[in-house]
Amino acid sequence: MLAYSLRRLLVAIPTILLLIVACFFLMHYAPGGPFTSERPLPPQVLANIEARYGLDQPLWKQLWDYLYNIVVHFDFGPSFKFKDRDVNDIIAQGFPISLTYGSLSFLVATVVGVSLGIAAAIRHNSWIDYFAVGLGIAAQALPNFIMGPILILTFTLWLGWLPGGGWNGGQWPYLIMPVIALATSYMGSIARITRSSMLEVLNSNFIRTARAKGLPTRTVIWRHALKPTLLPVVSYLGPVFVYVLTGSVFVDIYFSTGGLGQAYVGSALSRDYAVLLGVTILYGALTVVVNLLTDLAYAWFDPKIRY
Amino acid sequence: MFGNSQKTTQLAEEITDFTVIQGRSLWQDARIRFVRNKAAMVSVFILGLIVLFTIIGPYFAVWSNEEIDWNVMGDVRGMGMPSIETGHFFGVDDLGRDLYSRVIQATTISLLVGLIGAATALIVGTCYGIAAGYIGGRTDSIMMRFVDILLAIPTTLIIILLLVVAGRSFFTLFIALGAVGWLTMARIVRGQTLTLKNREFIEAARAAGVSEFTIMYRHVLPNLLGVVIVYASLLVPEMILIESFISFLGLGISEPYTSLGRLIAEGAGTMGYGTLWQLMYPLTIYVAIIISMFFIGDGLRDALDPKDR
């Protein structure tokens, strides 16, 4: 187990480094730098600006500085667009918001999805089963950017119960719709996976044995069936967390929650490469870490797996 | 030895009658299973209708997708609603353009994006996967490590990054979609190739002196087709989803072209003004396309991969 964890960690670190290097070269060779404007700057001014951002250094030096600052100081450098803020400020402002409703959606999707899937499998072919299956199908066609408009239409325009956007320090009326919009489709997928996995487990021999020796249904399900059921679900949770992170880009735009997504799309439109890369690298690194954790959780959950 | 009785003639006929027990090939079998799947057949029908709509629809259009109806433009809410008389069957959009023509254009583009994106992913992924799996050894582990690293990066963010860096165009969009789609495909194909390459018929081909490339092309590839088709059919709606997501954010396809995601975004932006049709028409078609494609993919999987049921 320890050797396996170390081996996985050894793969994860170069992955993140490679991501940073690849992003750096993408930025370097992108046409139209952040300082190209309609009125060309005098060469002296341009030289000064480039010196300020370290762009006059040789390429390897720039790459080294960029890498060094990220790894050692966790510093993504200055923003090209906002003169008084650097990328860290922007991330520090937006990331907590994105993380708040991202984790909430993740929690809601997992808890509700798993409960629904288990209930559907236990009461196979009942109304709750059909509901779970229906939700699983709808989930595929209702990603966050479809759910968002539908929710606002229902709860803000027709019923007038919830505010249509904003953050307001994360009060709960402002949280409900972003969380639901983000969680629904993954909730459906999780419910579907849990249901089919539970059905398979309930038909297996060791469950029949447990039943045959007279254990009550409750014990059979909680003590015997639950753990093997959750194995495929756990391996799906890593990707879900990543989807929730990228989905937050949409929520920030649509519900104006002020999270990192707003900064991301804004920088994409105004070619503020420093912010764009900073956020991509942050999310990429998070993805790698989450995948690592998922793999470790999987190994811990299923002692049969030998690596 | 035998007399020419009626019975012997009949027996002889039955023995030589090969039509009685006709073997079914794998593909026939799959087709029968697919046709029996009601959900998949209904989905094929709906998808067919939508494709027909994009082909025939333009002939009925009164307005082109670029014309602005100046009469309606001032009062989109009151006069721009769907009606037969004005020729705006789906109403007009926020700028007074005919939504019927725009929806046709958007549907065509969304379907094209899905198909081309999936096709790119299919070709690249299959070649890469077969090469990695068949060659094996150190080449295989290096190639797959590379895939693992790329898979660890959030796909939508990478597509946005590529679109920004290389400039927004159709070509970049297809490249970007293909660039993220082929990874899982390569993994699946490689896994399948690994199980195939030690089978007897491959060994027989090699013993007969068939070249390595021909073995990959003539013997490994046809046996992969089932898995590849199933995964590609599920990839098409996924590509449409990703493209719509990016277009919704305003980073994908740009004017004068449009896609369903863009139309949904525009409709969602104006729904507060009582012009709900601007959201509902593209949304309905979009949901119909996605759901039917997933059902078709599921049906194909059941048909081609029976052990999975």
Q: How far apart are CA B275 and CA B93, in angstroms?
A: 9
What is the structure's pLDDT at A111?
92
Closest approach of B153 to chain A, Cα-based (Å) = 5
The answer to whether residue B194 neighbours chain A at the CB level (below 8 Å) is no
Q: How far apart are CA B174 and CA B165, in angstroms?
A: 15
DSSP per residue, B200-217: HHHHHHHHTT--HHHIII
Report which DSSP code applies to B250: T
Residue with the bigger pLDDT between A92 and B309: it is A92
Which residues of chain B are within 8 Å of residue A14 when distances are taken between CB atoms?
A: 149
ipTM of the complex: 0.74
Q: How far apart are CA B83 and CA B92, in angstroms?
A: 10
Whether A26 sits inside 8 A of B165 (CB atoms) is: yes
Choice among A218-222, A238-242, A300-304, B171-175 with the minimum mean pLDDT: A300-304
Whether A145 sits inside 8 A of B167 (CB atoms) is: no
Q: What is the mean pLDDT of residues B28-40?
A: 81
pLDDT tier, B299 (very low <50, low <70, confident <90, very high otherwise) = confident
Confidence check: pLDDT of A244 > 60: yes
Q: What is the mean pLDDT of residues B122-129?
A: 90
Residues 127-186 of B with CB under 8 A from A: 145, 148-149, 152-158, 160-167
Whether A157 sits inside 8 A of B160 (CB atoms) is: no
CB B200 within 8 A of CB B161: no
Confidence check: pLDDT of B309 > 50: no
Residue of B nearest to A240 (CA): B154
Q: Is the dihedral of CA A194, A197, A201, A203 positive or negative?
A: positive
The answer to whether residue B35 neighbours chain A at the CB level (below 8 Å) is no
Which residues of chain A are within 8 Å of residue B158 when distances are taken between CB atoms?
A: 280
pLDDT tier, B306 (very low <50, low <70, confident <90, very high otherwise) = low
Closest approach of A29 to chain B, Cα-based (Å) = 8
Query: Considering the entire predicted model, what is its pTM?
Result: 0.79
**pLDDT tens profile B161-206:** 778 777 777 788 888 888 888 888 888 888 888 888 888 888 888 8
What is the structure's pLDDT at A279?
82
Whether B156 sits inside 8 A of A264 (CB atoms) is: no
Burial (0-12, 13-18, 19+ Cβ within 10 Å), A303 = exposed
The answer to whether residue A23 neighbours chain B at the CB level (below 8 Å) is yes
Whether A141 sits inside 8 A of B245 (CB atoms) is: no
Burial (0-12, 13-18, 19+ Cβ within 10 Å), A87 = buried
The answer to whether residue A10 neighbours chain B at the CB level (below 8 Å) is no
Confidence check: pLDDT of A24 > 50: yes
Residue of B nearest to A280 (CA): B157
Closest approach of A24 to chain B, Cα-based (Å) = 11
Q: How far apart are CA B290 and CA A63, in angstroms?
A: 43
What are the φ and ψ backbone dihedral angles of A142, each rounded to 5 degrees?
A: -120, 65
Q: How far apart are CA A265 and CA A249, in angstroms?
A: 8
Interface mutation target, options A98, A249, A273, A275, chain B, most CBs of B under 10 Å? A249
Choice among A29-43, A109-123, A252-266, B109-123 with the minimum mean pLDDT: A29-43
The answer to whether residue B296 neighbours chain A at the CB level (below 8 Å) is no
Report which DSSP code applies to B199: S
Burial (0-12, 13-18, 19+ Cβ within 10 Å), A39 = exposed
The separation between the first and the last C-alpha atoms of chain A, rounded to the nearest angstrom, is: 8
What is the structure's pLDDT at B3?
62
Q: How far apart are CA B34 and CA B15, in angstroms?
A: 33
Report which DSSP code applies to A41: P
For residue B92, give the nearest of B116, B68, B112, B109 by alpha carbon. B68
Whether B153 sits inside 8 A of A284 (CB atoms) is: yes
Residues 263-282 of A with CB under 8 A from B: 264-265, 268-269, 271, 276-277, 279-280
The answer to whether residue B286 neighbours chain A at the CB level (below 8 Å) is yes
Residue of B nearest to A252 (CA): B249
Structure tokens at A174: 């402002």
**Partner-chain residue, chosen from A18, A245, A268, that has the shortest CB–CB distance to B154:** A245
Instruction: Write down the H helix ranges in chain A.
Output: 2-29, 43-52, 59-68, 87-122, 127-141, 144-151, 172-202, 205-212, 217-219, 226-255, 260-270, 273-301
Residue of A nearest to B298 (CA): A137
What percentage of chain A exceeds 90 in pLDDT? 1
pLDDT tier, A35 (very low <50, low <70, confident <90, very high otherwise) = low
What is the structure's pLDDT at B308?
46
Which residues of chain B are within 8 Å of residue A277 when distances are taken between CB atoms?
A: 161
Q: How far is CA B30 from the centre of its chain?
A: 19
The answer to whether residue A291 neighbours chain B at the CB level (below 8 Å) is yes
